[in-house]
Amino acid sequence: MSSTTASAGALTEGPTIPRWLRYAGTPVVLALVTWATLAWVFSQDLLSRETALLNTEKIVDETIQHLYLTVVATLVVLLIAIPLGIMLTRPWSKPVRPLFLGLANLGQATPSFGVLVLVAAITGNVGNGVAIFGLVVYATLPVLRNTMVGIQQVDDHVIDAARGMGLSPLQVLLRIELPLAVPVMLAGVRTTLVIVVGTAALAVFVGGGALGLYIQNGIQLASTPVLVTGAVLTAVLALAIDWLGGIAEDLLRPKGL
Amino acid sequence: MPDTSTAAEIRLEKLTKVYPGSDEPAVKDVSLTIPAGEIVVFVGPSGCGKTTTMRMINRLIEPTSGDIFLDGENVTHMDASKLRRRIGYTIQKIGLFPHQTIFDNVATVPRLVGWDDQRTTDRVNDLLDLVGLDPSTYGERFPKELSGGQQQRVGVARAMAADPPVMLMDEPFGATDPITRERLQNEFLRIQADIGKTIVFVTHDIDEAIKMGDRIAILKEQSVIAQYDTPENILSAPASEFVSDFIGSGASLKRLNLARVRDVEIDQMLTVTADTPATEMRRILEDLDRTTLLLLDDEGRPIRWLTAKDIDKISGTRTADTVGMPVIALVEPQATLQDALDEMLRSNGGCAVVVDGQKRYQGTVDMETAIDAIRNLREISEEHLRKERDAGSPAAGASATREEGAA
C-alpha cells in the first residue's frame, strides 16, 4: 500500500521525473519481467504434467480468470461500499455507524484465507460466486472507510456556504461533497483493487481457479517453473493494476485541489 | 449596474432558538424590523447569539418558535433551499468551492434559479468587474490561486450573483489583515451605495459596526437587544451601562468612523508632473510660498512629495520620480476619517492624499481637518439630542421597538 500513499504526494512532486516517463516506465519494466520469466520457464525441460499448465493457452485463460475475479469483486465492493459510505456520513445514520464500520473491520481483520474457506464451508459451495463473495467481504473496508473520510474531510465552511446559497441536500452531496471526496475515495478504490488482485490468488482453494492454480500446483508438484510462473504473474498483475489505479487518480482528481 | 429587484424588509417576530438538550434558549424572543435598503449590524460580545440570530433568517438554523417575514411574506415554513436562493450569504471563512473556477463559483445561484447562459455570463462578468477582479484574468482561476482579499471579494460577488434583495454577512472581512479589511469595507460601502440591498451584517467589532451600519443592534446574552438605533444616537446616548461598556471609552474618537472623507473639506496641493522642468517647480514654490509639491504620474496618480531640497537633486540622470518622499497615505472618498488618520499615522505625515477608484489624485485631507470634523460631529449630535429631549420624544436612544424600526 506504500504506492497509495506515495501517489498522494504526486501533486507536490517537482519536475524531477516527467509524467510520461512515470506512466511509461512501469509497463515497460513489467513487460520485460514477464517476458524474461516466460522465456526462462519455456527454456526448461518440462515434464508432461508441467506442460499441461505451462502452455500459452492455459496461462492466458487463468490470467483472464484472475482479472475476472478481481474486476467483478471490486465492482461489487464499489456498489456496496460507496452508497453505504455516503449513508454513514449523513447525520441521521450516526447510531448505526459503529455497527457497519465494525463489520467491515471484522471482514478485513480476519485472515483472507480464513474468510474464503469460511464462506465455502458455510455455503457448502465452491466456484466463482464463493470466491467473489469472499473477496468482497475481505476488501470492502478501504472503499467504505475512504468514502466516509473523504466526505467528512470536506471543509465545513464550504458546505455551510453551499447550503446558505440554496443548494438542496442532494445538490450539496453531488456537487460539493462527492467531487471533493474523489481523491480520497480513489485512493481507497486503488487499495481495494490491490488487495483483491493479491487475494484472488487464494481463490483456487474454493474452486475459483486463477493464477493461484500455478502456485498451488507448483508446490504440490515441487515444480519451480510452475511456482515461479504463478508467483511472478500474480505480482505483475497486481503492479499493473496499481499502475492503472495511479493514472486514474491523476486523471480523475478534480482540478483546483 | 441595472438592478431591477428592490430591497426587501426583514421582520423578525419573537424569534427563539432552544438547542436540544439545553434548558436555556440561545436566542430568546427577538423582535426586530430591518428596513429595506439599510445595513443593519448585529454586534455584541461572543456567545451573545448574534450569528445564531442571523442564521435563523435564512434558516440554516431552524427557529424553535417565532416568525420570519421577508417583504411581508411569512417565510418561516417555506422550502428552506428556495428561501436561501433569495438571500445572499457570505461568511468569514468564505467557503468558495475549491474544485470550481471563480466564474463557476459566482455563477452558482444564477444557475440554480435557472438563468440562461448568456444572462449568467454577463452577470458574473459584471460582478467580477464590480469587485475589482478582471473577469478574463480571474474567471478561469481556481480559489486557491487567489489571495485572501481576492477570495473575499469573490465571496461577496457570489452572494450578490442572483441579485437577491437581502444579504446576510457574517464577519465577512474578519479574516483579512487590517489594511485589506479597510479596503474591502470601503469597496463594499461604495457598492452598497449603488445597489441599496437590505443587509444584515454580523461583527464583534464595534468600530466596524459604526463604520458599516445604517443602524446597529447591540445584542447581549440570548440576543436580547440592548439598543437598536443609528450609530450617531448609540454613541451620543447609550441606552444602558451595558451599551456604554460595550462601546468602550473614547466615544468621540469612534465618531471618526462615522464621518467620511467625502464629507469634509478637501484641500488642494500644488501638483506637477515629471515633465515639469526643475526651474519651473522652484518658481512655483517661491511664487506661491509653499514648501512642498505633489508629483503625479501620466495617469494623474500621486507618486512623490517634493520639497525645494528634493528639486535641487533633479539632474539629467535623476528624474523627478526618484527624489523626494514616496506618497504612502492614500484614501478613497468613502473611507472614514478614522481610516484617513490611520493612514497619516502609518505614513508619518500630516496629511493623506485622496484618490478615486483608479488611484487618481483628487485632493488631500490633513489632520486639522479631521479633528475639526470630529468636533463638529459631536456638537451636531449633542444639539440633536437636546432638541429631542426638549420635544419629549420617547424614541431618543431608547431600546428597540418594532415600530421605531419601521419608522
Q: Which residues pair with B272 in a beta bridge?
A: B295
Distance between CA A15 and CA A34 in Å, rounded?
Answer: 30
Count helices and strands in chain A by DSSP H and E runs: 12, 0
Mean pLDDT of B88-97: 93
pLDDT greater at residue A205 or residue B58: B58
CB–CB of A166 and B158 under 8 A?
no
> Which H/E stretch holds residue B111?
helix B108-112
pLDDT greater at residue B403 or residue B190: B190
Distance between CA B43 and CA B40 in Å, rounded?
Answer: 10
Q: Which member of B100, B108, B144 has the closest CB to residue A165?
A: B108
Distance between CA A26 and CA A15 in Å, rounded?
Answer: 18
Per-residue pLDDT band for B273 (boundaries 50, 70, 90) equals confident
Closest CA to A140 of A212, A67, A195: A195
CB–CB of B89 and A157 under 8 A?
no
**Is residue A10 predicted with pLDDT exceeding 60?**
no
Distance between CA A185 and CA A79 in Å, rounded?
Answer: 13
Question: Among all residues of chain A, which has the CA nearest to that of B85?
Answer: A166
Mean pLDDT of B197-223: 93
**Is residue B2 predicted with pLDDT exceeding 60?**
no
Q: From the CB of residue B339, how many other CB atoms can be counted at a distance below 10 Å?
A: 23
Distance between CA B155 and CA B138 in Å, rounded?
Answer: 13
Determine the length of chain B: 407
Lowest mean pLDDT among A81-85, B22-26, B199-203: B22-26
CB–CB of B60 and A255 under 8 A?
no
Q: What is the per-residue pLDDT for A16?
A: 65
Q: Which of A154, A163, A165 to mutate to test the interface with B (most CBs of B within 10 A)?
A: A165
Residues of B in contact with A256 (CB under 8 A): 98-101, 142-144
Distance between CA B108 and CA A12 in Å, rounded?
Answer: 30
Question: Among all residues of chain B, which has the CA nearest to that of A253?
Answer: B99
CA angle B161, B167, B171 (to 5 degrees): 110
Single-letter amino acid, residue B296: L
Distance between CA B220 and CA B156 in Å, rounded?
Answer: 28
Does residue B84 contact residue A169 with C-beta atoms inside 8 Å? no
A91 touches chain B (CB under 8 A): no
Lowest mean pLDDT among A67-81, A198-212, B310-324: B310-324
pLDDT greater at residue A54 or residue A143: A143
Mean pLDDT of A172-200: 94
CA angle B83, B86, B92 (to 5 degrees): 95
**B53 is written with which cell numbers?**
440570530
Distance between CA B156 and CA B250 in Å, rounded?
Answer: 32
Which A residues, 32 through 61, put their C-beta within 8 Å of a C-beta on chain B? none
CB–CB of B94 and A157 under 8 A?
yes
Q: What is the per-residue pLDDT for B254?
A: 77
Mean pLDDT of A78-102: 91
> Which H/E stretch holds residue B101?
none
Q: What is the per-residue pLDDT for B388?
A: 65
At residue A179, the 3 state secondary structure works out as: helix
**Is residue B46 predicted with pLDDT exceeding 60?**
yes
Distance between CA B203 and CA B176 in Å, rounded?
Answer: 13
Helix A224-252 × helix A19-43 angle, to 10°: 170
Does residue B241 contact residue B46 with C-beta atoms inside 8 Å? no
Residues of B in contact with A161 (CB under 8 A): 89-91, 94-97, 155
Per-residue pLDDT band for B392 (boundaries 50, 70, 90) equals low
> Which H/E stretch holds residue A89?
helix A56-89
Distance between CA B244 and CA B84 in Å, rounded?
Answer: 36
Distance between CA B168 and CA B90 in Å, rounded?
Answer: 6
Instruction: Respond yes or no on whether ipTM tops 0.85.
Output: no
Mean pLDDT of A21-27: 84
pLDDT in tens, B274-315: 888 888 888 888 888 888 888 898 888 998 888 888 888 887
Per-residue pLDDT band for A169 (boundaries 50, 70, 90) equals very high
Q: What is the per-residue pLDDT for A12?
A: 47
Mean pLDDT of A117-145: 88
Q: What is the per-residue pLDDT for B398?
A: 43
Q: What is the per-residue pLDDT for A158?
A: 96
**B379 is written with which cell numbers?**
456638537
Residues of B in contact with A155 (CB under 8 A): 93, 95, 98
Mean pLDDT of B129-140: 92
CB–CB of A256 and B100 under 8 A?
yes
pLDDT greater at residue A188 or residue B278: A188
**B348 is written with which cell numbers?**
508619518
Read off the DSSP letter of residue A54.
Answer: S
Per-residue pLDDT band for B6 (boundaries 50, 70, 90) equals confident
pTM here is: 0.77
